[in-house]
Amino acid sequence: MSVACVHKQDDQKVSISSSDPDATVLANTLYVHLKDLMSKGIMFGHQDDLAYGVNWKYEDGRSDVKDITGEYPAVFGWELGHLEIDAPANLDSVPFNKMKEFIRKGFEMGSVITISWHLNNPLNGGSAWDPDPKTVESILPGGEKHDVYKEWLDKVAAFVNDLVAEDGQLIPVIFRPFHEWNGSWFWWGKDHCSASDFKALWKFTVSYLRDEKNIHHLLYAFNSDKFYSEEEYMERYPGDEWVDLVGFDIYQREMDNEEYVKVLDTMLTNLEHLAKKRNKVPALTEFGGVNTDSTWWTKTFLPVLKKHKVSYVLGWRNAGLKNNGELEYYVPYKGDVSENDFREFYKDSITLFQTDLLKEKIYK
């Protein structure tokens, strides 16, 4: 079914359509809903939510978000890093077969699925954080590692083609590769490749999955790290025909609340502006705040969100206590200092969680 045939219930023409002219009906339906839902609120998302949280792992039905609010998130984030090297589990130890089950579960509960990919460095065999200035060039057509990269994409293709819903339809996914491209910690980062090579990599990736592998149930999310102007953002933007969502990641880290609010507010304004100009859906694709601040959610984060219209915000993973002794988490857990405040954040009418979304029937 072509895009032009997808109509809203009131039979008006769609407000937006996927960059893929052959997108599946479900992918387009989701995309239209993402756009329209922005007038109702902001969806709350969480990375690896169903797999583990602080102090627990793989307990059926459990979620740190649900432990506190009684509800699951509206957006579930997952991660494919190490799929490319045929590992049974991703770089954060989530087994890929379990991940597929979680994705199906999230879809059946009416939530949105997004997938990132911290892929290894195909040139030097190191991790995503192991840059080499020749990497991007080496995987583009004609490069010495081009075939290796294509094989890696074949594995991504096989994974997403296995995301089949109970009714047999392919589950649409917001795919978010090569994120935080204006930082330089990943091998695809700003200091390690030219803007034109980066754009070529993005276009090749989308085109290979879409046109060679015939995958039409993905929406593509393009996202920076902190950015300071539309100009900076657009420097590596591959073009409207290759992108569906635009976003950025922001971790508060060393910023105090006042500075953070200012930076976030400006970035959201810029993002909304550039999204509107291009008819794309804006999203805060990853965030992390201050765990020790017991009113961060309602006093710092929420007031900024209320000034803006974005599709979703995705809190990064609640890894818990890591081997290096670091307690890593971005969403409160039962017993956390922000537990009550997060509940207030949840109760606010602007934040949308799973049951809000279920009512919206975003796949219909």
Would you tell me which residues interact with ligand BMA (CB under 6 A)?
79, 91-92, 118, 316-317, 319, 328
93 by Cβ neighbours in 10 Å (0-12 / 13-18 / 19+) ranks as middle
- Number of Cβ within a 10 Å radius of residue 100: 17
C-alpha–C-alpha distance, residues 58 and 294, integer Å = 27
* Rounded least distance, CB 76 to ligand BMA, Å: 14
CB of 79 to ligand BMA, least distance (A): 5
| Residue 206, both tokens | 């989308």
- Least CB distance to ligand BMA at residue 301 (A): 19
| CB closer to ligand BMA out of 193 and 319 | 319
Which CB sits closer to ligand BMA, 82 or 199? 82
Query: What six digits make up the tokens of 301?
Result: 């984060």
> Are the beta carbons of 342 and 95 closer than 8 angstroms?
no
DSSP for residue 171: P
**Beta-carbon contacts of residue 214 (< 8 Å; ≥ 6 apart):** none
Q: Are 317 and 92 in contact (CB under 8 A)?
A: yes
Strands (E), 204-344: 218-224, 245-251, 281-288, 312-315, 320-321, 327-328
CB of 316 to ligand BMA, least distance (A): 6
Short-list 291, 289, 290, CA closest to 250: 289
Closer to ligand BMA by CB, 177 or 238: give it. Answer: 177
Nearer to ligand BMA, 28 or 224 (CB): 224
Shortest Å, Cβ 333 to ligand BMA: 15
Residue closer to ligand BMA, measured from CB, 1 or 321:
321
How many Cβ atoms from other residues are within 10 Å of residue 88's Cβ? 11
Distance in Å, CB of 118 to ligand BMA, minimum: 5
Q: Compute and round to an integer the Cα radius of gyration of the chain.
A: 19
CB of residue 226 to ligand BMA, shortest distance in Å:
15
